[in-house]
Amino acid sequence: MSNHNKTYNTLEQESLICARCGYCRGVCPVYRAIGWESASPRGKLSIARQVFSLKDQQKLDDEFVHRVTQCTLCGACAQACSTDIDLRRLYMDLRERIAGMGLAPKGYTALQANLAANRNITNFANQDRLDWAQDVDDPEQLEPRAGAEVCYFVGCVSSFFPQASEVALSVTEILTEAKVDFTTLGGDEWCCGFPLLASGRPDEAREFMQHNVERIKALDIHTFIASCPSCYHVWHQGAPEFLDGYKLEILHSTEYLIRLIKEGRLTLGEMEARITYHDPCDLGRNGGVFDAPRAIIQAIEGVELVELAHNRMQSLCCGGGGNLQSVDAELAGAITAMRVEEIKATGAQIVVSACQQCEQMLSAAIRKAGLKVKVMDISQLILEVLG
């Protein structure tokens, strides 16, 4: 069960519920990397209580603001909380309070500026979202088209970052191979809004979501897939507010791809390999999708799937979530290094994930560690064994 189903009242009320048991501290990747109580979920909540419940505004200093941003929003603390506080939502609430007070860090304000100017997280014009598609046989097939069976929501990272665009290219080739009638939103696709949610600007995030939903409606499309777990999570949770009775099936790409495999529209070959799978936080713990990626891997004859020490609901974050890289790239890398140690322990030749951000974080850390382990997105794995 994902954490968004927990009841949440207000930051002030939730901060009073904390039993100070410390269960959250044991699972927090930031605390494991830093070791300071003020970096733990319990420590941050204690200071938030001082600031907002007891009105001690002096406690809201630059150090505390930085501590609040030192969080990947992975949701592990909320899962472990003995008093059932939705800590992930509380931290987003806390970031909203900080942004409202004009105290957001420069990394957040720079990100917001890009989103306001370009409708994506980069400095590139949004009309260039399909530049990655120049490498497909027929780039024009990806231009927005009404009445398609499926809309593939590419996401900012896969649209604009060359390494991540390999995910979009792989998904496109797979859908084409399966003869799926699909399209994209092209230059009409705006950021899903997650970076705005994670930086404390939910109202602006809602504007982005509403725009994207209206574009889907205008194209009369009723099945939506996203390969980015954060895009999937935001759509799954946020889109119903704007659908207003419009029927739209929202799936992560792995859920749709395993459907194609089971329907016989995709035939997978063999691969002799020991593979481990890394659960992305927004897909697994926060999104509830655990089985589809594993079913895809296990559908490949000859593959041995070995689980990481922390997997499924207890999965360890890759370090790349929650806008952490924009404010503390060193901490993000330290968290990734812990995950790489678990990958090393499996003896796997390939680590597969279903998130372009996880893939980038793990690739960099594995290179730094000098491990001979190949990092692949699950769409790339499928493409390699297509029959």
The answer to whether residue 12 scores a pLDDT higher than 90 is: no
The answer to whether residue 47 scores a pLDDT higher than 70 is: yes
pLDDT value at residue 63: 86
Q: How confident is the model at residue 52 (pLDDT cuts 50, 70, 90)?
A: confident
Q: Report which of 275, 321, 358 is spatially closest to residue 76, judged by C-alpha positions.
A: 321
Q: Report which of 181, 180, 185, 312 is spatially closest to residue 257, judged by C-alpha positions.
A: 180
Query: How far is residue 190's CA from residue 370's CA, in Å, rounded to a whole number?
Result: 37
Q: Which residues contact 370 (CB under 8 A, 6 or more apart)?
A: none
Whether 196 and 323 have beta carbons less than 8 Å apart is answered as no
DSSP H or E segment with residue 151 = strand 150-153
pLDDT value at residue 2: 40
Q: How confident is the model at residue 61 (pLDDT cuts 50, 70, 90)?
A: confident
Mean pLDDT over 172-189 rounds to: 97
The more confident residue out of 18 and 318 is 318
Query: How far is residue 276's CA from residue 23's CA, in Å, rounded to a whole number?
Result: 27
Q: Please provide the DSSP assignment of 197-249 as one string.
A: HHTT-HHHHHHHHHHHHHHHHHTT--EEEESSHHHHHHHHHHTHHHHTT---E
Mean pLDDT over 189-212 rounds to: 97
The answer to whether residue 301 scores a pLDDT higher than 70 is: yes
pLDDT value at residue 5: 56
User: In this structure, what DSSP letter does residue 64 have?
Assistant: H
Q: Report which of 137, 127, 133 is spatially closest to residue 152, judged by C-alpha positions.
A: 133
Query: How far is residue 86's CA from residue 75's CA, in Å, rounded to a whole number?
Result: 8
Mean pLDDT over 203-212 rounds to: 98
pLDDT value at residue 56: 62
pLDDT value at residue 58: 61
pLDDT value at residue 245: 93
pLDDT value at residue 3: 46
Whether 31 and 83 have beta carbons less than 8 Å apart is answered as no
User: In this structure, what DSSP letter does residue 189 have?
Assistant: P
Query: How far is residue 71's CA from residue 66's CA, in Å, rounded to a whole number?
Result: 10
pLDDT value at residue 59: 64
Q: Over pLDDT 90: what percentage of the chain? A: 84
The answer to whether residue 332 scores a pLDDT higher than 90 is: yes
The more confident residue out of 306 and 103 is 306
Mean pLDDT over 320-325 rounds to: 93
The answer to whether residue 32 scores a pLDDT higher than 80 is: yes
pLDDT value at residue 373: 98
23 C-beta neighbours (distance < 10 Å), count? 16
Q: Which residues contact 103 (CB under 8 A, 6 or more apart)?
A: 60, 65
DSSP H or E segment with residue 285 = none
Mean pLDDT over 4-18 rounds to: 81
Q: What structural domains and CATH numbers belong to the chain?
A: 3-103 (1.10.1060.10), 108-259 (3.40.50.1860), 268-385 (3.40.50.1860)
Mean pLDDT value across the chain: 94
Q: How confident is the model at residue 316 (pLDDT cuts 50, 70, 90)?
A: very high
Mean pLDDT over 160-181 rounds to: 96
pLDDT value at residue 74: 97
Q: How confident is the model at residue 157 (pLDDT cuts 50, 70, 90)?
A: very high
181 C-beta neighbours (distance < 10 Å), count? 11
Mean pLDDT over 86-92 rounds to: 92
pLDDT value at residue 57: 61
pLDDT value at residue 139: 87
pLDDT value at residue 282: 97
Helix axes 378-385, 253-262, angle to 10 degrees: 30
Please state which of the ranges 37-41, 211-215, 252-256 shows the lowest mean pLDDT.
37-41
Mean pLDDT over 42-67 rounds to: 80
Mean pLDDT over 314-326 rounds to: 94
- Facing residues of 250 across strands? 224
Whether 220 and 146 have beta carbons less than 8 Å apart is answered as yes
Whether 343 and 310 have beta carbons less than 8 Å apart is answered as no
Question: Residue type at 252?
Answer: H
Helix axes 41-48, 62-69, angle to 10 degrees: 140
Mean pLDDT over 272-287 rounds to: 97
User: In this structure, what DSSP letter does residue 23 have?
Assistant: H
The answer to whether residue 1 scores a pLDDT higher than 60 is: no
Mean pLDDT over 214-218 rounds to: 98
Q: Report which of 371, 352, 301 is spatially closest to residue 170, judged by C-alpha positions.
A: 352
pLDDT value at residue 15: 85
